Amino acid sequence: MAVCIAVIAKENYPLYIRSTPTEDELKFHYMVHTSLDVVDEKISAMGKALVDQRELYLGLLYPTEDYKVYGYVTNSKVKFVMVVDSSNTALRDNEICSMFRKLHNSYTDVMCNPFYNPGDRIQSRAFDNMVTSMMIQVC
Amino acid sequence: MELKESSLYTATTPWFESYRETFLQSMPASDHEFLNHYLACMLVASSGEAEPMEQFSKLSQEQHRIQHNSDYSYPKWFIPNTLKYYVLLHDVTSGDEQRAESIYEEMKQKYGTQGCYLLKINSRAPNRASDEQIPDPWSQYLQKNSIQHQESYEDGPCTMTSNKNSDSNLLSLDGLDNEIKVDGLPNSFRVHPLQLDQCGDPPNTDGSDHTKSASVRENKKASTGVIRGACLTLTDHDRIRQFIQEFTFRGLLPHIEKTIRQLNDQEMAAVSAFLQPGAPRPYPAHYMDTAIQTYRDICKNMVLAERCVLLSAEILKSQSKYSEAAALLIRLTSEDSDLRSALLLEQAAHCFINMKSPMVRKYAFHMILAGHRFSKAGQKKHALRCYCQAMQVYKGKGWSLAEDHINFTIGRQSYTLRQLDNAVSAFRHILINESKQSAAQQGAFLREYLYVYKNVNQLSPDGPLPQLPLPYINSSATRVFFGHDRRPADGEKQAATHISLDQEYDSESSQQWRELEEHVVAVANKGIIPSSFYPTQYCLNSYSDNSRFPLAVVEEPITVEVAFRNPLKVPLLLSDLSLLWKFQPKDVNGKDIERARERARLKLFPHHIGELHILGVVYNLGTIQGSVTVDGIGALPGCHTGKHSLSMSVRGRQDLEIQGPRLNNTKEEKTSVKYGPDRRLDPVVTEEMPLLEVFFIHFPTGLLCGEIRKAYVEFVNVSKCPLTGLKVVSKRPEFFTFGVNTAALTPLSPSTSENCSAYKTVVTGSPSAGTALVSSASSVDFGTSTGQQLEAIPVPLPDSVLLPGASVQLPMWLRGPDEEGVHEINFLFYYESVKKQPKRRHRILRHTAVICTSRSLNVRATVCRSNSLEDEEGRGGNMLVFVDVENTNTSEAGVKEFHMVQVSSSSKHWQLHKSVNISENKDAKLASREKGKFCFKAVRCKQNEAAVQSSEKYTFADIIFGNEQIISSASPCADFFYRSLSSELKKPQDLLSAHTEKHGAEEAVRLIQKCSEVDLNLVILWKAYVVEDNKQLILEGQHHVVLRTVGKEAFSQSQKQADVDVIVDLRHKTTSPEALDTHGSFTWLGQTQYKLQLRSEESRSLQLKACFVHTGVYNLGTPRVFAKLSDQVTEFETSQQNSMPALIIINNA
């Protein structure tokens, strides 16, 4: 379903990046990296007052020829970025949004783990499985 | 953000500024526009001139001629009607002031007050100049290159004048440029016609020019030197400033204002709009955009487009519109000029970071693009700088692929710039950070790294070996082993397993060994463990206690095992691996340590005592080139000794630094993170110690339970000093014995002992028909006292010393443990040096024997008072001993049958007297699952009881079934008997005491118990006929039964102890039809079924009631008993074996 899922820390370094096992890992890294600028712009475009009640889901960040990049920012400025194949038209905004919510919940679980140091790379197996399920889900 | 504070971030880019200046300067003025067109001309004459007014008019004509004559295509003049500004230069020190004033008045009349100026300078003498540092007023207006130019032409007066002339021209223009903040607009002075006219064509010049230039030279005599303006005072500076102001505001600006409205070029309009201070309108950026687009797309004039962009970007930057500026700059980058693109990209990157909320990632990204273009343009230093700046953004952020790319480029560029150290560290980063690159990519990185590294090494071949990053060393997994490698089995000799690096660490067994050692040390030191005692550690690993310096013995190798790990997907080739060490000798004799190598195990061989520090490893790192098979991936190829391939390899080192365990004792340690020392690699080499090697000969691996087997042990002292105090300790002392006074009764060498009985036997002529042969022995003789539970058994060495090189073979009897299964039996040999050493008193040797036992016999015995039989001597106290022997062997071991050979008693008070029921089964044969019953009569010993008690003397009585007596009071039979006795005694004693405590209050009960106490021990000796490999073997063995209470059953084998649920069912039998036939004539009454739980060693009595209708003989042994383990839920219940018939005779009442 998704071809790449990334969790980016507040300070814009990756906490977690998984992409489909192709040779193009670099490309996905690049795509996620670039999308951070769009995320930043989207957040800074909103006024200070609006930040509190904003929608966490940012929607489509930018489309490329082959992929669509979606973004989601938690209140603690952790970013989730999902790259989806453009050909996959079945995927609506709603579904993307719910996928992000699932991701967010799973991320919250990771953070609740007392043995996880915030800011470390995510190495939780539960989170991994969740991401895997989101990536291989047949559309 | 943090980037801006970083030292590497350069806010200024002087190279770009100079590029821009040069670009603008070198750009030819185009026809359609008025940039670089002269707005005004300044005509300067000296007041010292004979006819200044005339000069002015001449200069004016000259200018007119240049502007309007078609000979000169350059410079361009802005408007036909060029502003002329007349300046009379007056040297205060030399000139006549009144004259100058009058000329000035004349000028004013002629050219108007707005068009002329009197400039007075040089108000002090030139000689005072040197010590005062007044800044050169001209310098800020003069280009550096023009200054150089001027100085290079210093000698020729002609050129000099021309320079001066051009200077003053430049001055005006530069001044203007400076005012309007668009620097870099000056015309190129080199092609200026006035200058050309004068120096390039001397014959054309008339005298006036000469005089003028002469006057200029005169006026500025001092300034022609290296220090210009030396004659100027601060007043002069003011005057000059005033003059420039006057010129621009009074002369130039009104003039431009007049003409500027005519400009309709959009670019110019935009610039003008920007230039107007405090303009109410915003900067019309779209003018600029349109202009650029038109230049680029329609006019195809990249140069103009670029100029336009440069101007516009500067303007936008000054207005903090960085993102627009960046977009503008990026738009101009193209394929055709790498250098230009690089410069523009770099500026764009700077724009991104200068934004109000800095866009760090964009900065880094464009920096890398710029770096890439720079490298394409051949600007290696700039490329490297760009990548380094981008690196600051990505460093340690987890964008590993990006980081790898940057590092790789930095490495390459550094290498081409011969910054080898940087190159090495950059490549190193790629390799060590758990690279996610593909195997091929990693291989390329590795080769590149090795290549660069080799170059570094060649620069300083004598320097210390550098640290290599690969492979990883798991330093905490480093193991150190002290001692020789275990010798492989030599023929029939089997070396003691001792300890080696091949053994996995097992905390349980190491704890056991530790306890054994503590015990034996305590025994050796008369029961006290010395305070200086630490358990000997031959193998140090991450689990061992490494807080103290380990002791190594001189002339004994130290083996260090280093754990390497290859993080890459490509194989690494390590060769010539050796250890690095430092040695502090205690003697001054020097040292000689040789190094050996075997896989990743490295050996040191200390030849002198002192302190050794193992620092690290040195090795050649290389790649395997050519046919690299994929299966080599992941596995470390280790250190192939084989031929070196032609691939590249470099020599380097890695240090071994082991972090100790984290300290967590004090509060301070708990709150902070502190680590203790780890001295694994810092052994202290001590003096020579004896070294023992132990070999076992004929040591069996499989035994029947209770089987006695004779083996030999060879003790060899392989060191150069004698050893003494040899002891062995084991948790299972009942397993083996060295015997007592064995020299007399056994063949000394193992070869002659084949087919000999393990026992000491005596042939008795005729069977003694079941009467006992009596002998006696003291337990003290066999080194067994029942006081201590674990014993250190001294090894009976001749003279108790083993000299260097000497070896002793001693017989050793083994008895198969009573429990069936696999037994691991640990032996710990303890020995000391003859001379006392302060550091280490003793050494140890370990051996683990693995014995597999299979079931043989199960012996059950009871003793009861004999009432009917009278003693010959008429004394009471005779007893009957019933012995049930069952062959429980499941014929897997090839055992055909067991023969009971002898039953012996051993007791302080009782002895077997004779066999009661000698049946037809004379040789007491027991085939598989057969059961034999024996009954013996026991009598009290004849010795004085008090004497027996004190001397611990046991009376042995043998009842023989064959024609050979095994002397049970001698080795090894008695040894094992005493051993088993002592191990038997420690268990039930606790129970007994607990038992007595329960009823302790009642003296009578205790007395009664005492009455039923008996201490008769039985030793059942047997022979087993075994067929193995078509050969018949006779095995011997013995079982022990300890009888303690009258009427209570005792077993040769401790019964399994578990909680059981017991069902006693009386009815069961009655339902069975055949039982009805025989025993149907009585019935159980009351409760006929009981369910109860028995804990281990618990006994419970049940009251059963029966009713008999007829007289006769009845068997009451009908109850069936079922039992199962209480913690098991399964309904599977085992039926108890049929109990013996309990007959009752009911008489007629």
Tell which residue, B733, B724, B681, B680, has the closest CA to residue B843.
B724
Which pLDDT value is given to residue B935?
Answer: 81
The string of pLDDT tens digits covering residues A15-43 is 888 887 766 777 888 888 888 888 887 87
Show which of residues 97-136 on chain A sit within 8 Å of chain B, judged by CB atoms.
Answer: 121
What pTM value is reported for the model?
A: 0.60
Nearest CA in chain B to A25: B401
The residue ranges of chain B whose pLDDT is under 50 are 1-8, 129-131, 143-227, 261-264, 279-280, 587-599, 626-646, 743-747, 785-789, 871, 874, 946, 948, 988-999, 1068, 1070-1078
CB-CB neighbors (< 8 A) of A29 in chain B: 399, 401-402
| C-alpha pair distances (Å), B498 with each of B494, B504, B976 | 11, 13, 26
B437 CA to chain A: closest CA distance, Å?
9
Query: Across the interface, which of B357, B362, B398 has its CB nearest the CB of A44?
Result: B357
Q: For chain A, how many helices (H) and strands (E)?
A: 4, 5
Number of CB atoms found within 10 A of residue B434's CB: 9
| C-alpha pair distances (Å), B1007 with each of B542, B809, B939 | 59, 52, 22
How far apart are alpha carbons B660 and B359 in whole angstroms?
Answer: 45
Q: Can you give the C-alpha Rg of chain A in angstroms? A: 14
B657 CA to chain A: closest CA distance, Å?
26
Domain with CATH 2.60.40.10 in chain B: 692-854
Residues forming a β-bridge with A81: A6, A71
Tell which residue, B955, B621, B1008, has the closest CA to residue B779.
B955
How far apart are alpha carbons B1058 and B585 in whole angstroms?
Answer: 62
* Interface predicted TM-score (ipTM): 0.76
Whether domain B257-459 has CATH 3.30.930.10:
no
Is there a contact between B401 and A37 if contact means CB atoms under 8 Å apart?
no
CB-CB neighbors (< 8 A) of B402 in chain A: 29-30, 33
CB-CB neighbors (< 8 A) of B397 in chain A: 11-14
Picking from B353, B366, B392, B401 by the largest number of A CB atoms within 10 A of its own CB, the best residue to mutate is B401
How far apart are alpha carbons B23 and B310 in whole angstroms?
Answer: 10
| C-alpha pair distances (Å), B552 with each of A114, B216, B556, B611, B721 | 45, 94, 7, 9, 16
CB-CB neighbors (< 8 A) of B360 in chain A: 12
Is there a contact between A36 and B361 if contact means CB atoms under 8 Å apart?
yes
Burial status of residue B163 (CB atoms within 10 A of its CB: 0-12, 13-18, 19 or more): buried
Burial status of residue B239 (CB atoms within 10 A of its CB: 0-12, 13-18, 19 or more): buried
Nearest CA in chain A to B352: A37
| C-alpha pair distances (Å), B267 with each of A87, B270, B293, B348 | 46, 5, 11, 21
The string of pLDDT tens digits covering residues A34-81 is 888 888 878 777 766 565 666 778 888 888 888 888 888 888 888 889
CB of B217 within 8 Å of a chain A CB? The answer is: no
Peptide bond into B471 cis (omega under 30): yes
Domain with CATH 1.25.40.10 in chain B: 257-459
Report the DSSP pairing between strands B601-605 and B572-585.
unpaired
State how far Cα A130 lies from the chain centre: 13
CB of B357 within 8 Å of a chain A CB? The answer is: yes
CB of A33 within 8 Å of a chain B CB? The answer is: yes
The phi-psi region of residue B665 (left if phi > 0; otherwise alpha if psi is between -120 and 50; otherwise beta) is alpha
Is there a contact between A121 and B402 if contact means CB atoms under 8 Å apart?
no
CB of B399 within 8 Å of a chain A CB? The answer is: yes
The phi-psi region of residue B52 (left if phi > 0; otherwise alpha if psi is between -120 and 50; otherwise beta) is alpha
What's the angle, vertex CA B117, arms to CA B116 and CA B122, rounded to 5?
150
Is there a contact between A37 and B359 if contact means CB atoms under 8 Å apart?
yes
CB of A56 within 8 Å of a chain B CB? The answer is: no
Nearest CA in chain A to B436: A25
B39 CA to chain A: closest CA distance, Å?
46
Is there a contact between A33 and B397 if contact means CB atoms under 8 Å apart?
no
Which pLDDT value is given to residue B532?
Answer: 75
B984: which 2 tokens?
Answer: 């038997």
B2 CA to chain A: closest CA distance, Å?
12
Which pLDDT value is given to residue B749?
Answer: 54
For the domain spanning B692-854, the CATH number is 2.60.40.10
Name all contacts of B1010-1014 with Cβ < 8 Å and 24+ positions apart: B1012/B1045, B1012/B1046, B1012/B1047, B1013/B1044, B1013/B1045, B1013/B1046, B1014/B863, B1014/B879, B1014/B909, B1014/B910, B1014/B1043, B1014/B1044, B1014/B1045, B1014/B1046
B591 CA to chain A: closest CA distance, Å?
50
Query: Across the interface, which of A13, A25, A26 has its CB nearest the CB of B398?
Result: A13
The answer to whether A75 and A98 are in contact (CB under 8 A) is no
CB of B440 within 8 Å of a chain A CB? The answer is: no
